[in-house]
Structure 1
Amino acid sequence: MEINIPGLVSIIVFYIIILVIGIWAARKSRMATNLSTEDVWLANRSLGVFIGVFTTTATWVGGGYINGTTEVVAHDGLVWCQAPIGYSISLIFGGMFFAEKMRVTGFTTMLDPFHWKFGDFINCLLFIPALTGEIFWSASILASLGATLKVILGISLEIAIIVSAVIALLYTIVGGLYSVAYTDVVQLICIFVGLWVCVPFSMTHEATTPITANNSATWLGHLDNNYIGNYIDYWLLLIFGGIPWQELWQRVLSSRSTAVAKNLSYISGFFCLVMAVPAVLMGAVAASTDWNMTEYGHPAILKEDRTLTLALVMRYLCPTAVTFIGLGAVSAAVMSSTDAAILSASCMFSRNVYAVIYNRIKKTRPSETSQVWVMRVAQIAVAAMACAMALTVNSIYYLFLLCSDFIYVILFPQLVCVLYIKKSNSYGSLMSFIVGPFLPANGRRKGTDTQLFPFRTLAMIIALFTLIAVSYFTDFLFTRQIVHRKWDLYGCFEVNICRHVSYLYMALSYQLVS
């Protein structure tokens, strides 16, 4: 395929603009000289509702979100497009049930409450599923952009993915959350404008039948009763698996106040749903188009081109100038989520792995400067792993869903218990971590690879029950001296003044805010 030079120039200009804004935000916040973890990770807890809503919405509305939405509407039908509504509800639930508890205690990352209550080992162990989710999330985002640039500009998929990751990495390393938040404002505007500009042109193309015609059943889709269990499983996965993400809690913990933290969650949930509308419409257009009448040259989009659905709509159903605007929207969506995922994973590593291990060895916490530099090295590693994963995916949408599997089954029960179950302890947490991910997945329909039984939800419930049951059982054994406390390997039941003071502070703070 011949490289589209004007399009390539336009995307280079866009990348330069985003990079300049990111660097400007870093200089404005004096990040180049002030290596404070509070500034780098949490923007000095200064986010207001406006910036908070923009950065939270832009983080969720990534390349996987819009490309995946168009893909699944076009090929499976609107009824199977669960991600936009599911993740919107998850943001609202996060604000409703978790934001106040997290913000009022002054935690720095999502893993902090686990470290505080379950100890060093469990804290480091829970970093593994959190990191895995971030890498899958980033990979789905980068894959969406790589596919789009390949179709529209004719450049190599590998080059598109790597260059996009490097640009996001550069300004994230320089400016931390300040750069991410300020670039998110510009990126969200680009996403909104770019997608809506493409909608009328694609809907009125001569090869497209009106989406309200008799063929509307094609893109509306159908839900077979045999798949109800699978359908419900995905809903619960998206809603509750969308809560334990460092991206959300980084913004909640960076808010000026608890009220701001809750409001940005509610408002962002609404705007995430709104931002999916143009992607849904272009999915409907793709399903209503006779692709033989376009330069694509096939009656319908080929199975191997499913991930390219949005890119194909932009390229073959829109004028060239509009295509480039749409490409800017996809690029902005990718940048806004990639930078957030890279920053989130690296912050957790620096704060909850490096600092913990350093403290164990040296018996003192590492300096703030060293933590920031470790975070920057971790950002490079996370970006590299995400790029490697992005180059091997087959479906953007299902990679988009897969990133929540580990989070839903492992981290959601842990988050609920650490914040709501007073007697939860390290023993329950460890057993839950072991049991949840390794439950057998039964209910596979004969002759297919589709899982009909809601096995993820079953695994999550069993993991939750295991954590609570083992915690109460061990509490009973040790507090009643049935088992001597010398066998309390994690020190859950020893008199720990610091832990009791921390718990008292957490409880008192929550009561004062309430």
Structure 2
Amino acid sequence: MAVDVPGLVSVLLFYICILAIGVWGSRKSRKVEKKCPGNKSEVSMVGGRNINILVGIFTMTATWVGGGYIMGTAEAVYSPSQGLIWALGPPAYVINFLLGGLFFAKPMRSKRYVTMLDPFQRRYGNIFTSTLLIPALVSDILWVACILAALGGTMSVILGLSSTVSIIISAAVSIIYTFLGGLYSVAYTDIIQLCFIFVSMWLCIPFVVLHPAVSVALETPFFNHSVEHSWVGELNLADAGKWFDDMLLLALGGLSYQALYQRILSASSSAQAQITCFASAGTTFIMGVPSVIIGAAAASADWNQTEYGSPPPFERGDAGKILPLTLQYLTPTWVSVLGIGSVAAAVMSSMDSVLLSSASLFTQNIYKTTLRKKASERELQWVIRVSVVVTGLAGSALAFGNESVLAFWLISGDLIYCMIFPQLVCVLHVHWANTYGAVSGYLTSLLLRGLSGEPMFGIAPVLLYPGWREEDGVIKQYFPYRTLAMLSSIISITTVSWLVELAFSRQFIPESWDLFGVFKEKRQTEDEAEPEPCNEMSCPLSTKF
């Protein structure tokens, strides 16, 4: 396939524009740093807690509306084995932001944390917090791979450009402006990117729906199952466990992303952080509607009437590229170029956020507090920049595979849903949670999730839950095994914490066995806070009777 030179030039101009805005954002960041010379790293990570509410809503929405979101949603609606009922992204993200605003934004922002792992560090210490960083970083790297894979597939279809080249160019642009300006560059580029996504995606819809190849299936009654390839889909009882598991993974797993808390903690107040979450619930849902329509149109189209021909994309294994294929064959050339621009914008708007979130976690919770406690602000800034580059390169390397965008999208939230979400709930809302419970919960979720297997990485399951099936020689679980691991972790944290505290407080276990020093530190804190007894010498207002 020949390279579409005009389309390629248009995309490159878009990239140059985004890079220029990112550089401009870095200048804004330096101005703020001059006002806070003793806290430059915090300016890079949370914008000096000075991001206004409108910018906050834009950058929060743009972070979630990535290549995985818009392409994964279209793929789910199009796939004959799934359909609209399996397009879980839009409703799951609404739940995610509503719960975030109600239960997580205020306790995180009111205590002026810098990262999602700060509450763990304060309660459990540096060693356990370091173990939580592992699933967080793995998840971010997989998220980068997901969104870059989405872009690579899109450019290869529409522009005829090698997916490897497109991945390298897009990753380089995102890394450069995130490297230069931190959160300010990310936030300001997100505004332009989100506006471009909204306009270009909605502009494509009329051309797709009105194309002659799109069958009358879109006009059939909503629940008419006589259509051979229904885009509505159906949910069988045997698949309900998997549907429930995937829904909760996206809805609750999203509450464990540092990228979410980076926006919450950059707000000027707790109330603003909550409003940002609530508003983002609506905007993110709206941004998913064009993908649903494109997926439905693709499922209804007679591909024999297009240059794509027969067999249809699903039978060729191209379901993961259904959004760019639809734009390529069901819209005019100039519209498809705008469509690829929207995917590129979505990719960069998410990628820069993920790069910065990983860099922030490592710098704040590992380097600054454990490795180099006396590191200068300039040194911390360079650690952030180097971390951005390393994360970007690691995610880019994984993006060169041919895995489904939808699969990457789900797996990126898998570990943090099973391992970090239960820990976050307990550290914020369970006052008796302690290090012993946290360690037991971590090991419980790690063991259950590991033994459940992962087909994407060729890991066969050891635990076979009810309803498992063997498909094409691969065993797949249809029981909500991720949710089981998550709930088991919460039960383990709360129960073990309570039992251990009871055992030490009643002296069933001697204090010398307190390996983590939890209760020794607790007693020292209570002793320091306890006021001195009032007597004649210390209380001059006392009266002797």
- TM-score class, shorter-chain normalisation, is over 0.9
State the 1:402 CA deviation: 1.0
State the 1:229 CA deviation: 1.4
Instruction: Name the structure 2 match of 1:293.
Output: 305
State the 1:503 CA deviation: 11
Instruction: Name the structure 1 match of 2:489.
Output: 463
Instruction: Name the structure 2 match of 1:402.
Output: 411
Where do 5+ consecutive residues of structure 1 fail to align?
A: 505-514
State the 1:375 CA deviation: 1.2
Within 5 Å, which residues of 2 pair with 1:263-342?
Answer: 263-301=275-313, 302-342=315-355
Partners of 1:97 and 1:246 in 2: CA distance = 16
Partners of 1:230 and 1:28 in 2: CA distance = 46
Partners of 1:84 and 1:464 in 2: CA distance = 26
Within 5 Å, which residues of 2 pair with 1:201-240?
Answer: 201-210=207-216, 211-213=218-220, 215=227, 218-240=230-252
Where do 5+ consecutive residues of structure 2 fail to align?
A: 453-464, 531-545
Are 1:447 and 2:470 counterparts? yes
Within 5 Å, which residues of 2 pair with 1:17-416?
Answer: 17-30=17-30, 34=34, 36-75=40-79, 76-210=82-216, 211-213=218-220, 215=227, 218-301=230-313, 302-359=315-372, 364-416=373-425
State the 1:455 CA deviation: 0.9
One-letter amino acid matched to 1:492 = V
| Secondary structure of 1:30's aligned partner | helix
Stretch of structure 1 that moved more, 283-292 or 448-457:
448-457
Does the 8 A contact of 2:32 with 2:43 survive in 1? no
How high is the sequence identity, in percent, across the aligned residues? 41
Stretch of structure 1 that moved more, 62-71 or 425-434:
425-434
Partners of 1:414 and 1:239 in 2: CA distance = 16
Does the 8 A contact of 2:33 with 2:43 survive in 1? no
State the 1:207 CA deviation: 1.1
One-letter amino acid matched to 1:222 = E
One-letter amino acid matched to 2:321 = L
One-letter amino acid matched to 1:289 = A
Partners of 1:101 and 1:216 in 2: CA distance = 50
Partners of 2:501 and 2:268 in 1: CA distance = 38
One-letter amino acid matched to 1:71 = E
- RMSD of aligned Cα (Å): 2.0
Are 1:428 and 2:437 counterparts? yes
Partners of 1:500 and 1:112 in 2: CA distance = 22
State the 1:253 CA deviation: 0.4
State the 1:303 CA deviation: 4.1
Does the 8 A contact of 1:119 with 1:490 survive in 2? no
Cα pair distance change 1:420/1:166, threshold 3 Å: same
Instruction: Name the structure 2 match of 1:480.
Output: 506
Partners of 2:97 and 2:365 in 1: CA distance = 24
Cα pair distance change 1:338/1:499, threshold 3 Å: farther
Cα pair distance change 1:447/1:29, threshold 3 Å: closer
State the 1:33 CA deviation: 7.0
Are 1:437 and 2:441 counterparts? no
| Secondary structure of 2:466's aligned partner | coil
Instruction: Name the structure 2 match of 1:511.
Output: none
Partners of 1:133 and 1:91 in 2: CA distance = 19
| Secondary structure of 2:343's aligned partner | helix
Instruction: Name the structure 2 match of 1:507.
Output: none
- Number of residue pairs the alignment of both structures matches: 500
Instruction: Name the structure 1 match of 2:16.
Output: 16
Partners of 1:349 and 1:503 in 2: CA distance = 33
State TM-score, norm by structure 1.
0.94
Partners of 1:446 and 1:85 in 2: CA distance = 27
Does the 8 A contact of 1:78 with 1:219 survive in 2? yes
Partners of 2:233 and 2:31 in 1: CA distance = 50
User: Looking at CA atoms only, which structure, 1 or 2, has the larger radius of gyration?
Assistant: 2
| Secondary structure of 1:447's aligned partner | strand
| Secondary structure of 2:307's aligned partner | coil
Does the 8 A contact of 2:229 with 2:299 survive in 1? no
Does the 8 A contact of 1:60 with 1:272 survive in 2? yes
One-letter amino acid matched to 1:38 = E
One-letter amino acid matched to 1:312 = L
State the 1:365 CA deviation: 3.3
Partners of 2:6 and 2:509 in 1: CA distance = 74
Partners of 1:237 and 1:500 in 2: CA distance = 39
State the 1:480 CA deviation: 2.5
Could you give the per-residue CA deviations for residues 142-179 of structure 1, whole angstroms, max 9, x where no partner exists?
Answer: 11001001111111111111111110010001000000
Cα pair distance change 1:151/1:374, threshold 3 Å: same
Does the 8 A contact of 1:32 with 1:174 survive in 2? no
Partners of 2:526 and 2:265 in 1: CA distance = 23
Partners of 2:294 and 2:219 in 1: CA distance = 13
Stretch of structure 1 that moved more, 334-343 or 76-85:
76-85
State TM-score, norm by structure 2.
0.88
Partners of 1:135 and 1:104 in 2: CA distance = 29
Instruction: Name the structure 2 match of 1:510.
Output: none
Instruction: Name the structure 1 match of 2:534.
Output: none
Cα pair distance change 1:500/1:456, threshold 3 Å: farther
